[in-house]
Structure 1
Amino acid sequence: MAEMFSRQLPENINRIILKFPEDVQEFFLEMISADRSPQTIANYAYDFSLFFDFLASRGLQLEDVTSKEIKRFFRRIENGYERTIQVPITKKDPVTGGVSTEWVERTHFRENSRSGKRRKRASLRSLFRYLLKADVLDRDPMQEYEDASLRSRQQHKVPVFLTREEALRLIDAVGTYHNKQKRRTYTWYEHRDRAILLLFLNTGMRVSELVGLDVNNIQYDGDVARVVVLGKGGKERMLKLNQPAFEALRIYLDQRPQGISPEHRDALFLNKNRGRMSRKGVYEALRKYVREANLPPKAANISPHKLRHTLATLLLSNGENLRVVQEILGHSSIQTTQIYTHVINSEKDSALDRLGNWT
């Protein structure tokens, strides 16, 4: 790449940020200085890219933005939007054997979920607050927009999770799925995916934490293994691996492919191109096994984050201390963990309802 914004960020995020105005690039430098996680910075970059594409389509500059333009932006993406990203394609020369990387654009449609809408508002709120303090703008159009907007009602939904039996079916689905394949050239995929599922269900880590793991994040002490997880805000937590997760990870590491490029050599989980596995890759792998497991409707759209819900719910169902569960999940506030107590209460209510009437 001819120009790089920051060596601390992936190249695809560098490419996005370099298209922004200089004052917005300064905002990202402030985020890096404040030790914001690469995933948080990437989310802001994606959100701003949508916003600046909208401004460009209307021939507007930052100083032209009004609360009405912000309203038009949110209306445009209300029910979903197309996102164009750049992805690296590795090509091998059939004659020389040399490997080169070419960046190509991929466009895909994304639903605008409730949490996605909240995040985009928060992203723009932070940006305009910064630009106002830096004297780039003399007013905050995002504040004007929010002052004039109706507040949406907060909806507190009970987290979706798997029962223990459903979680076991999901793990078993890895083997049954691969047994059905006619060609099993890359058997290490199966070992990788089983290890990933068991790590999620053992530790409750976030998908961004999982794909960020390096081989040396696994620490051994005799027959005990622990994983060092780098969470939000750069906070580390160390979690013991139970025996099934430890064994699945050991088998995967024994089968982990060779011929890895230096930039990805440290990555714990690899994709088929021997690069660090992405969040999207994890989602796609999980989707296969959810279909194979034939889980009930409520679990049909299970995600890595819902596996996190599953661990929290199972721990509390087993009578574990709320503070311990908070530390395992890496929640900064115990109020975030308390949402799972509502799940447990609803489970108790259902159990009592199933007794029927005594009269």
Structure 2
Amino acid sequence: MADIPFSRRLPENINRIIIRFPEDVREFFLEMISADRSKQTIANYAYDFALFFDWLETKGATLDSVDAHLLKRFFRHIENGYERTTRVKLIKKDSVTGERKETWVERTHFRENSRSGKQRKRASLRSLFRYLVKSRVLERDPMEEYEDTGLKSRTQKKVPVFLTRDEALRLVQAVSQYHHKQKRRHQHWYEYRDRALILLLLNTGMRVSELIGLNLNSIQRDGDTLRVIIFGKGGKERMLKLNRPAADGLQQYLVHRPQTEIKPNHEEALLLNKNRSRISRKAVGDVIRKYAREANLPPKAASISPHKLRHTLATLLLSNGENLRVVQEILGHSSIQTTQIYTHVINAEKDSALDRLGDGI
């Protein structure tokens, strides 16, 4: 890769992916950056395009030769999963000289192609080809032809998975249970971090990308009240009050949060990992799953993810009779239709309750 990265606003590993794309595709990413799309959104597009262009290369095809038939072959190829190669930077210390050297290694892993994953890849390519037609790079949009000729898959609206109030409480309590079993003399700072992390997700319903993007100055204090400023999708900002458990958990973490040996450029990050740099999406997921196992949650909840804690907050709010518009604003949904999916959850719960009542008659 050139000495100058594709964009200084993007992580180095994403720059290394984008720089391999055709020039017109790189222009598409510059447009995304200008439109203030989130780093995670840009990264998702980069991963999807890399999968597509790597496959095109194996077929000896070019961008301007893509048609509906070729797209159909590509989506068939990844239908049941695919291998993805990622590049990871490792820093190794020479045992003799002590010199630290950076090396990039390739790691290949198999990925399941979920329903949402399939939808995202279609949406990614749809956006790309629309842009290329609009920019007059291509005369026709092969995705339109593909979607017109293909059989429409049945839409299955899944009811979001969420925790009950009791299960959410058990998840929070699992933090203390887990660390108590470690039989340490003193509580480690990341025990406070993990509790604060879970309480923040349950209290605000923020997306994991919003959580890991929080800085120390994202927390605003007004007397005894703490509020968090969240930057959501499309650069939209919202401010939410932290309830007492979340505020207490966060303040305890801030007291114990490391103040020294924090990695350069990570000093302002609110949530740190064990290496004292900004916590990652994967690390947040690992934290949630660890305590879900410790809490011995039922099968439905055992595979809980950060996003399912978002579902949990929405469901509990609506169960308490909160206004749909208020829930929309708390979650940062741009459309109330997105929020309305949680009313289906409430209705499903009502149906189950009536069914159970009928069992005894």
Check whether TM > 0.5. yes
Q: Which residue is equivalent to 1:310?
A: 312
How many Å separate the matches in 1 of 2:264 and 2:34? 27
Q: Which residue is equivalent to 1:121?
A: 122
Q: Deviation per CA, 1:180-237, whole angstroms, max 9, x where unpaired?
A: 2366888122111111110110000001111111111111111111111111111000
Q: Which residue is equivalent to 2:207?
A: 206
Q: Which residue is equivalent to 2:335?
A: 333
Q: Which residue is equivalent to 1:164?
A: 165
SS in 2 for 1:262: coil
1:229-240 map, 5 Å: 229-240=230-241
Q: Which residue is equivalent to 2:277?
A: 275
181-190 vs 305-314, which deviates more?
181-190
Q: Deviation per CA, 1:295-327, whole angstroms, max 9, x where unpaired?
A: 111112111111101000101111111110000
User: Gaps (5+ residues) in structure 2?
Assistant: none
1:34-183 map, 5 Å: 34-92=35-93, 99-181=100-182
How many Å separate the matches in 2 of 1:95 and 1:198? 46
Count, aligned residues: 359
Aligned residues of 1:178 and 1:184 also touching (Cα < 8 A): no
Q: Which residue is equivalent to 1:265?
A: 267
Scaled by the length of structure 1, the TM-score of the pair is: 0.95
SS in 2 for 1:354: helix
RMSD: 1.9
User: Aligned-pair distance for 1:179?
Assistant: 2.1
174-183 vs 133-142, which deviates more?
174-183
How many Å separate the matches in 2 of 1:182 and 1:83? 40
C-alpha change, 1:187 and 1:101, in structure 2 (3 Å) is: farther
User: Aligned-pair distance for 1:269?
Assistant: 1.2
How many Å separate the matches in 2 of 1:304 and 1:101? 32
Q: Deviation per CA, 1:62-110, whole angstroms, max 9, x where unpaired?
A: 1122211111111111111121222232345567766554332222222
User: Aligned-pair distance for 1:16?
Assistant: 1.0
SS in 1 for 2:340: helix
How many Å separate the matches in 1 of 2:66 and 2:359? 63
C-alpha change, 1:259 and 1:91, in structure 2 (3 Å) is: farther
How many Å separate the matches in 1 of 2:264 and 2:166? 41
What is the percentage of aligned positions where both structures have the same residue?
Answer: 73
SS in 2 for 1:87: strand
SS in 2 for 1:19: coil
SS in 2 for 1:155: coil
Scaled by the length of structure 2, the TM-score of the pair is: 0.94
How many Å separate the matches in 2 of 1:10 and 1:185? 36
Residue identity in the other structure for 1:348: K
Residue identity in the other structure for 2:61: L
SS in 1 for 2:228: strand
Matched, 1:292 2:294: yes
Q: Which residue is equivalent to 2:322?
A: 320
102-111 vs 113-122, which deviates more?
102-111
Q: Deviation per CA, 1:238-261, whole angstroms, max 9, x where unpaired?
A: 011111111111121222222112
How many Å separate the matches in 1 of 2:186 and 2:141? 57
Q: Which residue is equivalent to 2:348?
A: 346
SS in 2 for 1:263: coil
How many Å separate the matches in 2 of 1:281 and 1:93? 28
Residue identity in the other structure for 1:72: R
How many Å separate the matches in 2 of 1:278 and 1:269? 9
How many Å separate the matches in 1 of 2:328 and 2:98? 51
Q: Deviation per CA, 1:139-187, whole angstroms, max 9, x where unpaired?
A: 2211111111111111111111100000011111112122223668881
Residue identity in the other structure for 2:36: D
1:187-198 map, 5 Å: 187-198=188-199
